[in-house]
Amino acid sequence: MNHGVLTAIYIAAAVLFILSLGGLSNQERAKRAIWFGMVGMILAVGATIAGLFTPAFPGVLAIPNVEWLVVTVAVGAVIGAIVAARVEMTGMPQLVAALHSFVGLAAVFIGLNAQIVLTDVGMAANLSELSGFAGRLAGKTAVELTMLRIEVFLGIFIGAITFTGSVVAFGKLAGHIAGKPRKLPGGHFWNAALAAACLACGAAYLGGEGIWTIAVVAVLAGMIGLHLIMGIGGADMPVVVSMLNSYSGWAAAAIGFTLDNDLLIVTGALVGSSGAILSYIMCRAMNRHFVSVILGGFGGTPVATTAAVGEQSPIDAEGVVDQLLAAETVIIVPGYGMAVAQAQGAISELTNTLRNKGKNVRFAIHPVAGRLPGHMNVLLAEARVPYDIVLEMDKINADFGATDVAVVIGSNDIVNPAAIEDPNSPIAGMPVLEVWKSKLVIVSKRGQGTGYSGIENPLFYRENTRMLFGDARESVQSLLRLIG
């Protein structure tokens, strides 16, 4: 495979990645967009591996024992397929966080390896005998080698933060680490001190010091990632996952420059920019400041909030059925509890039953419902809920005032009126779905506990709210049996 063919395949793969990202903005085109991304990745990996067997062409990485690379790629593909097939949708957020950690760790290893090769090149007696990456380093000028060192430093710095931060995010999402924010005394002072130490080591590295400098950077940056994400509350993990996605993209782009791989640069930039944009959108949806997200400065210790007044009013399945059959308009608000109970199939069936009876049934989706952006949309699409009745918060929030029944299934913080009514609430100012404006609110909930943020929800104590306690899927199935 010559260099021109390889470049052409890389361009095709990059175009497919761009089409994939663009298609994911629309539910109807999302499946096709995923195929674009899959084909693009197959082209990218296949062309890169094929290029390893043709070392005579410029810009191609030739390495000895390339068969081992093919074997490791095959093993990784098998492991990835098995994990993807076994993971439940409720476990997808922590899986994504784990995959981000792999990208960060790879960036660190590649950066360290680049410096090892650079050292070997400096000690080589005959540069003309070098091949592959070493041969390309031997042909670089002093200015180009300085740029390479900057790329290595950035790749290791961002990669180490991404690695440890993603590991902590995985632990919090999986429940292995407590969701409450934890910081060392002094807070961001330690982050700033560690960052300054990394810059000092980076300056020493650019000044000609050896590999120990970037090894120290990897350790210090890893401590920054650990402290940053540990200082963020568990309820804000959806934004953190998106932010780490952006970090992993920029780490990949930096390593792309190190390896002179144009596709890795483009792909990393796409991931980094799209992750940053998504983080910004989610910050707006949660009334957070984007800069404070990057610095790990939100989700801190909550201040005193107004206690909920009154008692929760329970309702049984028969009562819910009576209200649904009497209603003309129904809005369903799904949340993480629906995902845990795997109730999307039963909810889809209930939706079809009510629509067949002439009811106007729609879904309201909050931008951060669940623990991953788009979590609820994917679940509803999987259950074959029609796309045209699944609406985002800004398109349906004004309709609750004219809605007969709002059904909240497994949602808590995203329907909490304290965000609007209690200025002392930790979620004050966060846009929420204003379900309490409906004539009647039915909340399907397993128990009387708080949501993921640990904040009490006064919605559950309102006069127009009825609590349907129990497993979400079992509750919805009981409604289906009664409706007939």
Catalytically active residues are 413
Q: Spell out the alpha helix ranges (H) of 175-211.
A: 188-206
Token digits of residue 134 = 């070493």
Provide the β-strand partners of residue 3.
none
Token digits of residue 325 = 């059959």
Q: Which helix (H) or strand (E) holds 358?
A: none
Which of 121, 122, 202 is CA-nearest to residue 154?
Answer: 202
* CA 335 to mean position of chain CA atoms: 17
What's the Cα-to-Cα distance from 106 to each of 37, 147, 198, 445, 459, rounded to whole Å?
21, 20, 19, 42, 46
Distance CA 477, CA 319 (A): 14
Residue 263's Cβ-side half-sphere holds a number of Cα atoms within 13 Å equal to 23
E strands within 312-373? Answer: 329-334, 360-365
Given a contact cutoff of 8 angstroms between Cβ atoms, the answer to whether 165 and 228 are in contact is: yes
Token digits of residue 168 = 């902590």
What 3-state DSSP class applies to 85? Answer: helix
- Packing angle between helix 237-259 and helix 92-123, nearest 10 degrees? 20
Which of 285, 368, 360 is CA-nearest to residue 334?
Answer: 368
Which of 6, 171, 208 is CA-nearest to residue 94?
Answer: 171
Provide the β-strand partners of residue 406.
331, 441
